[in-house]
Amino acid sequence: MKFMMMVKADKNYEAGIPPSPTLMAAVGQITEEMMKSGVVVETGGLLPSAQGARLRLAQSQVTVTDGPFTEAKELVGGYAIIHAASKADAIALGSRFLKVHEEALGPSYVGEIEIRQMAEW
């Protein structure tokens, strides 16, 4: 099964502050390891919402709203598409990824990942 892990943004992300070199090295290492084992299919980071737009269709009209968007904690800052045998396995991988953040940034780190199974029609 394929799952998407969406890493939630924080205020630093929205301010355009790049991740620390320590975090980038740690994430790079776990990502490389998981790609070699075939667990990770793809990863990517997103730019702050200030550089994005939202489109909404209502009554046959498309409305475009330029960023930034409020509630940074609800925004996705990055993602990974993974192969996992079950939702429980995907959660274990997500937990491991969060622990890498804590190890790189310290015990005060607070982060969130949303995990969703991808539809395979």
- CATH assignment at residue 88: 3.30.70.1060
* Cis ω for the linkage preceding 68 (within 30 of 0): yes
Residues 115, 52, 66, 60: is their CA dihedral positive or negative? negative
pLDDT value for 84: 96
pLDDT value for 70: 72
Q: What is the mean pLDDT of each run of 10 residues along the chain (121 residues)?
A: 92 87 93 94 91 92 89 82 96 94 91 93 83
Question: How many domains would you assign to the chain?
Answer: 1
pLDDT value for 73: 65
CB of 76 closer than 8 Å to CB of 45: no
pTM of the predicted protein model: 0.83
- Which range marks the domain in which residue 53 is found? 2-117
pLDDT value for 81: 96
pLDDT value for 120: 85
| Joined tokens for residue 12 | 């630093």
Q: How far apart are the first and last CA of the chain?
A: 12
pLDDT value for 85: 96
What's the rounded Cα separation, in Å, for the pair 94 and 80?
10
